[in-house]
């Protein structure tokens, strides 16, 4: 079929490669290049960079709503279908109506759960043991369209947003390939979503990375997994911010007692900190203004002792600054 891909981040790259193997990619649409890195160099999103490497037709419109020239361009391509994969912009109805079969969206959750921009991260934060991808017919609403095909994927106990992102990106490409074959054959089903079961997965904020020491150790660890790529786990400490780069849930030492956030033990494996239930072991950290450190070395170098409490003594301004890192 003659197709277009609307996508921006690396999540969409396996989908682009899958489309190229079986269909004619008439157009790739990505978000505009943006400043990135310390030098704020103008940098293309991964999908735009790959499209340029392949010599594909690429458009990066700053806006879609009211963009008559872009709409006419798409209409003139004679598309059978268009695909979105983490494109990051709302599509106006006139654009959705342009391809013969409309738009199919590769969404990284089992809809109607985790509609929105960060389904992978929130599935981990909520402790899901299973997720998947949904191939959805795109409507003007936020991930509300009929589900055309779903594929499930187990979540490993040590999955983070990075590892699960990679696995779901590949699964999404496979699911889309299957969906397009069925669409071409006229056998692709369509099932409305159950609005009563809908949940939302908004973009993460810097505050989402703050460790909630009063939570159970399992919940603290799940949040760490979900925010692993960004903004990362962090906690106020001694008026600054301590980034927690590696952690795991553990049983609290039998003889140790302490309020949530209290250091219970410092040992060869790291620093054990009390949670609302159980404890977590900090294995690697990054103090403000320093690089990554083994947690035991950090405790020794900074004089962190049993009984000291993390998560206190940071103002809102300090916390926000630390979260920015």
pLDDT single digits (tens) 300-320: 999 999 999 999 754 344 344
Give CATH 3.10.25.10 domain extents, the chain.
206-324
Residue 38 is predicted with a pLDDT of 81
Residue 251 is predicted with a pLDDT of 86
Residue 265 is predicted with a pLDDT of 95
Residue 315 is predicted with a pLDDT of 39
Residue 241 is predicted with a pLDDT of 96
Question: Which tokens sit at 67?
Answer: 């963009």
Name the class of domain 2-197: alpha beta
CA gyration radius for the chain? Answer: 23
Q: What is the DSSP string of 118-180?
A: -HHHHHHHTT-SEEEEEEEE--SSSS-SPEEEEEEEEPPTT--HHHHHHHHHHHHHHHHHHHH
Residue 257 is predicted with a pLDDT of 79
Give CATH 3.40.50.170 domain extents, the chain.
2-197
Place of tokens 């033990």: 265
* pTM over 0.85, yes/no: yes
Query: Which residues fall in the annotated binding site for (6S)-5,6,7,8-tetrahydrofolate?
Result: 109-112
Query: Which residues fall in the annotated binding site?
Result: 109-112
C-beta atoms surrounding 269 within 10 Å = 15
- Which pLDDT tens digit goes with each residue over 175-198? 999 999 999 999 999 999 999 999
User: Which residue positions in the chain have pLDDT lower than 70?
Assistant: 313-325
Residue 276 is predicted with a pLDDT of 95
CATH: 3.40.50.1370, 3.30.420.40, 3.10.25.10, 3.90.550.50. Which one for 206-324? 3.10.25.10
């Amino acid at each position: 079929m003659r197709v277009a891909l609307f996508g921006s981040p690396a999540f969409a790259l396996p989908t682009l490669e899958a489309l190229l193997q079986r269909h004619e990619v008439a157009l790739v649409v990505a978000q505009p290049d943006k400043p990135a890195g310390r030098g704020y160099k103008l940098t293309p999103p991964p999908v735009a960079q790959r499209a340029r490497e392949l010599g594909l037709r690429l458009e990066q419109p700053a806006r879609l709503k009211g963009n008559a020239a872009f709409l006419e361009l798409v209409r003139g391509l004679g598309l059978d279908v268009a695909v979105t994969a983490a494109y990051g912009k709302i599509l106006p109805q006139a654009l959705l109506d342009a391809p013969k079969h409309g738009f199919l969206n590769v969404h990284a959750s089992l809809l109607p759960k985790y509609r929105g921009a960060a389904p992978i991260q929130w599935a981990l934060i909520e402790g899901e043991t299973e997720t998947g991808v949904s191939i959805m017919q795109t409507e003007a609403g936020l991930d509300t369209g009929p589900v055309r095909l779903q594929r499930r994927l187990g979540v490993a106990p040590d999955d983070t947003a990075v590892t699960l992102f990679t696995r779901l990106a590949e699964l999404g490409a496979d699911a889309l390939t299957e969906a397009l074959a069925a669409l071409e054959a006229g056998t692709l089903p369509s099932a409305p979503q159950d609005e009563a079961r809908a949940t939302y997965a908004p973009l993460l904020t810097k505050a989402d990375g703050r460790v909630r020491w009063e939570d159970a150790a399992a919940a603290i660890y799940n949040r760490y997994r979900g925010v692993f790529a960004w903004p990362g786990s962090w906690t106020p400490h001694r008026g600054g911010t301590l980034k927690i780069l590696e952690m795991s849930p553990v049983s609290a030492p039998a003889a140790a007692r302490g309020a949530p956030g209290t250091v219970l033990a410092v040992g060869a494996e790291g620093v054990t900190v009390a949670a609302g239930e159980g404890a977590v072991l900090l294995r690697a950290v990054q103090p403000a203004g320093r690089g990554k450190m083994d947690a035991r070395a950090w405790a020794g170098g900074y004089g962190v002792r049993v009984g000291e409490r993390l998560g206190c003594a940071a103002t809102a301004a300090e916390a926000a600054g630390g979260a920015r890192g």
